[in-house]
Amino acid sequence: MKSAVVLAPGLNRDRDMITALAQVSGQAPQTLWQTETTLPDGLDLIVIPGGFSFGDYLRCGAIAARMPVMRAVADAAERGVMVMGVCNGFQILVEAGLLPGALMRNTSLKFVSREVKLEVANANTAFTRRFEPNQVIRCPVAHHDGNYFADGETLARLEGEGQVAFRYAEGTNPNGSMNDIAGIVNDKGNVLGLMPHPENLIEAAHGGEDGRAIFESALAKVA
Amino acid sequence: MIKARVTVTLKNGVLDPQGKAIEGALGTLGFAGVSGVRQGKVFDLEVEGEDKAKAEADIKAMCERLLANTVIENYSIAVN
């Protein structure tokens, strides 16, 4: 199993993500600086962590989505390499066109940093197969722009094709996102974006291991 | 040198919580009867050359690739 974490100015959850990947896979991930144009051979999973890339100027994730390394990430995704974006990483993936829709300002207009409940809306994806169908887990969120939006046709397709991977459950939607969407996969199922931070709930010292199964699922292929 | 202004606005039907908050604040200030407030962005650009048609085509490409997120936003270009 070979994983890598993308690094860019303003991304600040990279250490947490590196720790989570190393703990679950037993192997430290490589790091990819934003100016790199080629990727190491044989990567199975590329993770874009959270933060405030490039100050979130213009739109959240907009500048980072155009950084050189993202062209290589898009090529890798096209070849079937798994790609996961968390929080700002999710925003970067939608801005890069690797996932449909957009992430808008929270309806409350407030930055939310709290724990929510997540329902595993599709336990058959490469990122969720270690969960039970409709399992509800705890997960922290910390964002200002997590309000998922897609036009009606796109939303119907996401729902119809099982591309909604995670939904906020039990009335804990923190941002007003459509259909309580917290995370989606692309049509091929190898790209996941989610607003919550599973990397911050993977060991007892975090207060729980609810997020661990996402990493176990994603790393299962070769672990 | 060609000067241009790009205006980016949210598409109809896209929720604009900031516009709603601004509308509420206008009401608080006593401006009655204001509705439909939508927040957008304006970009002023200076483009080298004298060919306005080429500049406009280039700026359209800039809008499509960066300045606007066409999933949620419309844009208009005014070249002087």
What's the CATH number for B2-79? 3.30.1280.10
pLDDT, tens digit (0-9, with 9 covering 90-100), for A24-48: 999 999 999 999 999 999 999 999 9
- Residues of A with Cβ-Cβ distance to B72 under 8 angstroms: 102, 104, 149
More confident of the two residues A220 and A70: A70
Instruction: Decide if A47 contacts A85 (C-beta within 8 A).
Output: yes
Give the DSSP per-residue string, chain B: -EEEEEEEEEPTT---HHHHHHHHHHHHTT-TT-------EEEEEEESSS-HHHHHHHHHHHIIIII--TTTEEEEEEE-
Contact (CB<8Å) A107/B65: no
Pairwise CA distance, residues B9 & B20, whole Å: 14
The pLDDT of residue B67 is 98
Contact (CB<8Å) A95/B72: no
β-strand pairing of A30-33 with A45-48: unpaired
User: A1 pLDDT band (50/70/90 cuts)?
Assistant: confident
Q: Which amino acid is present at A14?
A: D
In chain B, the residue whose alpha carbon lies closest to the alpha carbon of A147 is B15
pLDDT, tens digit (0-9, with 9 covering 90-100), for A172-207: 999 999 999 999 999 999 999 999 999 999 999 999
The pLDDT of residue A220 is 84
Q: What's the half-sphere exposure (Cβ side, CA atoms, 13 Å) at A135?
A: 15
User: A222 pLDDT band (50/70/90 cuts)?
Assistant: very low
Q: A142: burial class by Cβ within 10 Å (0-12, 13-18, 19+)?
A: middle
Domain count, chain A: 1
Give the DSSP per-residue string, A52-70: -GGGG-SSTTTTGGGSHHH
In chain B, the residue whose alpha carbon lies closest to the alpha carbon of A99 is B71
Of A93, A104, A28, A26, nearest in space to A64 by CA = A93
Contact (CB<8Å) A149/B72: yes
How far apart, in Å, do the first and last CA atoms of chain B sit? 10
The pLDDT of residue A221 is 60
- The catalytic residue among A87, A95, A143, A144 is A87
Q: For residue A15, give the H/E element and its range.
A: helix A14-25
User: A223 pLDDT band (50/70/90 cuts)?
Assistant: very low
* pLDDT at residue A120 tops 80: yes
Domain locations along chain B: 2-79
* pLDDT at residue A121 tops 70: yes
β-strand pairing of A136-143 with A181-185: unpaired
How remote is the C-alpha of A59 from its chain's centroid? 18
Q: Which amino acid is present at A155?
A: L
**DSSP-assigned beta bridge partners for residue A31:** A5
Distance from the Cα of B71 to chain A's closest Cα (Å) equals: 6
- Residues of B with Cβ-Cβ distance to A95 under 8 angstroms: 69
Of A170, A175, A118, nearest in space to A148 by CA = A175
Nearest-CB residue to B71 (from A102, A107, A109): A102
- Sign of torsion, CA A64 A67 A71 A72? negative
Q: Say how many residues make up chain B.
A: 80
The pLDDT of residue B80 is 87
- The catalytic residue among A60, A119, A143, A197 is A197
Nearest-CB residue to A109 (from B14, B17, B69): B17
Question: Catalytic: A143?
Answer: no
Question: Catalytic: A197?
Answer: yes
CATH code of residue A199 = 3.40.50.880
- Structural domain boundaries, residue A199: 3-219
- Residues of B with Cβ-Cβ distance to A105 under 8 angstroms: 17-18
Contact (CB<8Å) B15/A151: no
ipTM of the complex: 0.87
User: B68 pLDDT band (50/70/90 cuts)?
Assistant: very high
Percentage of chain A modeled with pLDDT above 70: 99
Backbone phi, then psi, for A18, in 5-degree steps? -60, -45
Q: Which residues, including other chains, have CB under 8 Å from residue B28's CB and lie 6 or more apart?
A: none
**DSSP-assigned beta bridge partners for residue A116:** A139
